Chain A
Amino acid sequence: MKLLVYYAHPGKRFSHANEAMSKALRRVENISFVDLYAEYPRFDVNVEREQQRLVDHDVILFQCPLFWYSTPALVKEWIDLTLEHGFAYGAGGDKLDGKIMMFALTAAGPADAYTTKGYQHYPLRTFLTPLERTAGLCKMRFAAPYALYGSLRAIEDGRISPHAEGYRRLLTALRDDAYNFDRADDFSVVEFEHLDTLIGD
């Protein structure tokens, strides 16, 4: 499948997890990559260009950190502008039918925080409901997100490189049509330990 990765991180210099993931990503050939903050440093998203990109690809993956239970601001701006009425939804808005929307997120809170008993009160997936509905309104499939919990401590815990390596495998599998989306739906959030059961025929 044709894979398009949107990378959105406004503070790259301070990122460990996302930079390691970007490095892993560069080793995957034949996928499209857009660094959103580099392409639109002044937030003036080129709607025509972005819509053409969506039309040209099958899997749209956003790689970004979780900011205030949502995406960084530019991703929201991109959604506001690109997913136009008549293109993505509404009358005649069928251009994204059947495509797949997926997120690769890093969350600072640890896994046990994102439970009903944890300090965030809800599972991570619950916070993504607006994005899931965005995909739904555009008739896109919202695939289970690939996530790294406790991203700020991940270096000490040695979880950065397995997560980045998992990311590389994930992208390769998506490109080669070797990723089992149905089985991935059994997980509310996919972590690198789960990939063995999701990749392969």
Chain B
Amino acid sequence: MGDFLLLSFIFLCAGVVAVPIASRLGLGSVLGYLIAGIAISPLLTALHVDVIAIQHFAEFGVVMMLFLVGLELEPKLLWDMRNKLLGLGGLQVGLTTLAVMGVAMAFGQPWSIALAIGFIFALSSTAIVLQTLNEKGLMKSDGGQSSFSVLLFQDIAVIPILAILPLLALPELTDAAHGAADIGHGGEGGGEDHGEESHGTNLNLIASLPAWAQVIATFAAVASVILVGSLLTRPLFRFIAWARLRELFTAAALMGVVGIALLMTMVGLSPALGTFLAGVVLANSEYRHELESDIDPFRGLLLGLFFITVGASVDFELLGANLGLIFGLTFGLIALKVLILFGLAMVFNIRGADRWLFALGLAQAGEFGFVLISFTIQNNVIPQAIADQLLLVVALSMLLTPLLFILYDRVIAPRYSSGQDREADDIEPEGGIIIAGHGRFGGIVNRMLRGAGYHTTVLDYSSEQLEMLRTFGFKVFFGDATRPDLIHAAGVEEARLFVICIDDKAQITELARHICKHHPNVHVIARAVDRQHVYELYAAGVRDIIRETFDSGVRAGRSAYEALGVHPFEAERLARQFTLDDRFAIRELASVFEEGVPIQDNPAYVQKSKELMEEREAELKGDGRGFHSRSDRGWTPPTLKDVDAEASANEEG
């Protein structure tokens, strides 16, 4: 327990100190974590910490990230990407593997080792690239989308690669089998075991089955993810909603992701791929934003941990001994990958700054490289000595990636900036509309907006309400709109309008205050429960406040006028004048309202309100010039005397 706390503290502390500094310096969070890892690596060595084991654990962050990416990607979008995915991704993996293999053979490696190295280096780092692209808001750009296609293909490609690698085993290494893994490698030996675990060799339940059964089992697993995702999510979440406990949703979301990862591991598929698939299946679900905000913090922490371990795993002793060779290999690898990526970008018509983003962003080796390396050692494909150097090259290339992004940001992007902006304007959709609460109030707002052709994102926390709405074909998302992380997931950053229609007075105010403070560019329309609530909302910064029962009250008053025999147009005008008058009064009273003081304890408010009431009384009795007389303006005919005077004046003229 003590160890666990100490270790957690060291990792958290390193991240908390290093990342803000790195962000402040414009280096990005990834480099911050990597530097933090390097900084604490002597400490970890002194404590005999198994960094690689932690790294394999932290790789689960990648799984979560792909789940989140899947959530953002509707099946239709994925289908639209198929050309890029197969063409761009396939060519990148194929060409890079062959090129690296060629270089390795030129260095005198036998073809089998060279091919294994090719596979290892062909893959890029999903973790670093997606994290950085998200952070810089480049995911939606052409370069970002292309990068994502390639990363996704690589993720899929890991599966056949893992199947091919054992076939490349070297006879002389197989003889020495276990020895190679243990000798001289105490610390990292443990990591290999974890590598197996996270990639399925130990847990693989179907390895002993005949080939046809394996294929069936694999397809059955994938199908079950899709079926469970699309059919069981709803009942499950409704079941959980009965408990009315926030953390149960988090638990359920985690359970889902872990469960899918487990299932995929059992059939020998990539867990990241499985959760990605589940994400895509759930992209259309009303629980999407809830899932997103539940998983996101875990993804962030685990990825952070992962980056720290990459930094911490650099073996400086080995690096020092082979400084020239390792750096040479790393730079050579990056140059080779950039070259191939750049060529592909030209062929696939990725233009301008996006081409550079694509080529520089994917130029590193990735976390799957670590996995493959431990897998090759254990399958006797690559001798330990070479593998150790490869590990260093992979880690170093990942360390250098943030620098490549900085190069892109500072040097390349500005050159294309003018053209880039114009394109971005066309691509970026108009800001979204978020409606919080879909009851008697918000439902009307939503129907009006949808009826006029606007797309809305509706959040509601009542499962029963969702169920009812779905019957009528409405699209709403489950979630408590007063949670900042949920409205973040719903896209408040890019929203242009936020309509608060929930019931609870205190929650309305709280939500309004949060949005007005943190998202001042979003137009907020808030539902006010009563008069005092109007003042509170005004103090919170809302300028578009709608009293929930005022308009219906006025309409009832107008009906009363008509029932009493007032001419309908007269009744309408009286109703409008009343509305104007009341707005005037509410503004007057707002000026003496004090937040936190009940109105009956506020003498200025009581006084003002009495004055206004007296004024209105007087007007109604016809003594003053205001209410009644104002509503008659414009229709008052001139007197006969005036008409005569006018006529004589014109005769004279």
Contacts and interface: CB of A to CB of B under 8 A. Distances in A.
Interface of A: 42, 44-45, 47, 80-82, 84-86, 89-91, 137
B576 A84 contact: no
B645 A84 contact: no
A80 B634 contact: yes
Contacts of B645: 90-91
Given A44-B576, A90-B646, A91-B645, A81 B637 contact: no
B349 interface: no
B642 interface: yes
Interface string B556-600: 000000000000000000001000100000000000000000000
B638 interface: yes
A44 B636 CA distance: 16
Nearest to A44: B576
B633 interface: yes
Interface string B125-168: 00000000000000000000000000000000000000000000
A74 to B, nearest CB: 13
B646 A84 contact: no
Contacts of A90: 638, 642, 645-646
Given A47-B634, A90-B638, A90-B645, 20 more contacts: A42-B576, A44-B580, A47-B633, A80-B635, A81-B633, A81-B634, A81-B635, A82-B634, A84-B634, A84-B636, A85-B636, A85-B638, A85-B642, A86-B638, A89-B646, A90-B642, A90-B646, A91-B641, A91-B642, A91-B645
8 contacts: A47-B633, A80-B634, A81-B633, A84-B634, A85-B638, A86-B638, A90-B646, A91-B645
B270 to A, nearest CB: 52
A131 B191 CA distance: 91
B351 to A, nearest CB: 33
Nearest to B645: A91
A114 B520 CA distance: 54
Q: Which 3 residue pairs of A and B lie closest in terms of their CB atoms, listed nearest first? A: A81-B634, A85-B638, A90-B642
Contacts of B576: 42, 44
Contacts of A82: 634
A89 B647 CA distance: 12
A137 B642 CA distance: 13
B637 A85 contact: yes
Nearest to A137: B646
B629 to A, nearest CB: 11
Contacts of B637: 85
Contacts of B580: 44
Contacts of B635: 80-81
Contacts of A86: 638
Contacts of B638: 85-86, 89-90
Contacts of B641: 91
A84 B642 CA distance: 13
B419 to A, nearest CB: 26
Contacts of B646: 89-90, 137
A89 B576 CA distance: 27
A140 to B, nearest CB: 14
A68 B405 CA distance: 64
B637 to A, nearest CB: 7
A85 B639 CA distance: 9
Contacts of A85: 636-638, 642
Nearest to A89: B646
A69 B196 CA distance: 86
Interface in B600-653: 633-638, 641-642, 645-646
B576 to A, nearest CB: 5
Nearest to A92: B642
Nearest to B636: A85
A90 B634 CA distance: 14
B257 to A, nearest CB: 48
A187 B638 CA distance: 35
Nearest to A42: B576
A40 to B, nearest CB: 11
Nearest to B633: A47
Most buried by B among A82, A90, A137: A90
A44 B635 CA distance: 13
- B580, B634, B646 — which one has the most chain A CB atoms within 10 A of its CB? B634
A42 B633 CA distance: 17
Contacts of A47: 633-634
Contacts of B636: 84-85
A81 B633 CA distance: 7
A89 B643 CA distance: 10
A42 B575 CA distance: 13
B544 to A, nearest CB: 15
A58 B418 CA distance: 45
Which of A44, A45, A137 has the most chain B CB atoms inside 10 A of its CB?
A44
Nearest to A80: B634
A91 B643 CA distance: 9
B626 to A, nearest CB: 12
B616 to A, nearest CB: 19
Nearest to A82: B634
A107 B340 CA distance: 64
Interface in B418-462: none
A90 B645 CA distance: 8
B210 to A, nearest CB: 68
Contacts of B634: 45, 47, 80-82, 84
Nearest to A84: B634
Nearest to A79: B634
B172 to A, nearest CB: 79
B632 to A, nearest CB: 10
B460 to A, nearest CB: 30
A137 B576 CA distance: 30
Nearest to B573: A44
Nearest to A78: B634
A170 to B, nearest CB: 30
Interface in B246-288: none
Nearest to A85: B638
B635 to A, nearest CB: 8
Contacts of A80: 634-635
Nearest to B631: A44
B323 to A, nearest CB: 65
A64 B589 CA distance: 40
Contact of B633 (A84, A89, A137): A84
A45 B636 CA distance: 15
A195 B408 CA distance: 56
A33 to B, nearest CB: 23
Interface in B383-423: none
A72 B345 CA distance: 57
Interface in B219-254: none
B44 to A, nearest CB: 65
A85 B633 CA distance: 10
A180 B415 CA distance: 53
Interface in B298-316: none
Contacts of B642: 85, 90-91
A44 B637 CA distance: 19
Nearest to A77: B634
Nearest to B642: A90
A42 B636 CA distance: 21
A89 B635 CA distance: 14
Contacts of A44: 576, 580
A90 B646 CA distance: 6
